[in-house]
Amino acid sequence: MKMNDYINDFTNHLREAIEIANNTNLKENTKEIRTVLICGLGGSGIGGTIVNDIVSTKAEIPIAATKDYSIPNFVNEHTLVIANSYSGNTEETLYALEKCQAKGAEIAVITSGGKLKAIAEENKYNKIIIPGNQPPRAMFGYAFTELFFMLNHYGIIDDSFKSDFTKAIELLDTEKSDIQEQAMSLAKKMYKQTPVIYVANGFEGVAVRFRQQINENSKMLCWHHVVPEMNHNELLGWRTNVNDLAVVYFRNKSDYDRNQIRMDINKKVISEYTDNISEIWSKGDSLIENSLYHINLGDWVSWYLSEMNNVDAIEIDVIDFLKGELGKI
């Protein structure tokens, strides 16, 4: 399969993930959960970041994400730790998991196999197993969805996410052609440019996903920043005319009103130095719909850019080289 085949199947991935979750029997938790830590990196880790963006404003306990060997000091027997690794062999996640085990945390697992699945089975941890042997970033829809179900099982979030997913799937299917057209238009503006992605607070995970897809699929450098934070630093960097940057704003009706005003003013400032500025407005009425809309559109952009750049979107030779070198130590 090519990367565009995976992107084309995105809503099918979401449907199948929901079916997998509904058919998975998870044991009841007997611990009082006071904090949540989601462990994961890369195509697996970004799901935890976006889920945190979506649910943290409603969850009644703190939720954090780690993308490292280390874990926060707050982890204890009242912490729900969700170890999320598509392959099940992500080095950093396995190291972090071992430390969480030593602190007596409640452990849950989302994976397709590998060492993580074996650890979950050995210790009888709650686990959701997703289809394996595919590029992790292409299977984003699975782990992302299962994180909501896992949080719901432990009582961290209510059932409202289920209807939001149903609406998001319907939205993406209905808007498929329009999303692809917008993505192609945006890719043409980003071709042979360095993309600069701006979002409002609450959608940084979506921006990171877009950046990662451009990095991995399109084999391009890229950066992102968040409003209002960038108004206190990066905005000052726009001082000279540039002809090699493509600015993209991912926007949402749900963005805080003062941040929407800030983004409008930002555009005026930046337009003094480049005319390559694009705005993409999400559709849908929930944060899940808004996020998945931008994610799917950004994935298509990364695919179109890979074709324009004449590169293999799936190839990750340099990452494999890095892992090989680490394996020697």
The domain limits of the chain are 3-158, 166-308
Neighbour count for residue 92 (Cβ, 10 Å):
18
pLDDT of residue 323: 84
The catalytic position among 216, 219, 225, 283 is: 216
E strands, the chain, are: 35-39, 63-66, 79-85, 106-111, 126-129, 194-200, 223-227, 245-251, 277-281
166-308: CATH architecture? 3-Layer(aba) Sandwich (3.40)
Find out whether 315 and 138 touch, Cβ atoms under 8 Å. no
Q: Is 232 a catalytic residue?
A: yes
The catalytic position among 124, 232, 268, 328 is: 232
Q: How far apart are CA 187 and CA 67, in angstroms?
A: 29
Residue with tokens 């830590």: 37
Per CATH, the number for 3-158 is 3.40.50.10490
Q: What is the pLDDT along the chain (329 residues), one digit of tens a residue?
A: 899 999 999 999 999 999 999 999 999 998 999 999 999 999 889 999 999 999 998 899 999 999 999 999 999 999 999 999 999 999 999 999 999 999 999 999 999 999 999 999 999 999 999 999 999 999 999 999 999 999 999 999 999 999 999 999 999 999 999 999 999 999 999 999 999 999 999 999 999 999 999 999 999 999 999 999 999 999 999 999 889 999 999 999 999 999 999 999 999 999 999 999 999 999 999 999 999 999 999 999 999 999 999 999 999 888 888 888 888 88
pLDDT of residue 210: 98
Q: Is 323 a catalytic residue?
A: yes
Find out whether 203 and 291 touch, Cβ atoms under 8 Å. yes
Q: How far apart are CA 320 and CA 88, in angstroms?
A: 16
pLDDT of residue 102: 98
Does 166-308 match 3-158 at the fold level? yes
pLDDT of residue 325: 86
Find out whether 295 and 140 touch, Cβ atoms under 8 Å. yes
The catalytic position among 31, 188, 192, 323 is: 323
Q: Is 216 a catalytic residue?
A: yes
Q: How far apart are CA 52 and CA 148, in angstroms?
A: 10
Q: Is pTM, for the whole model, over 0.85?
A: yes
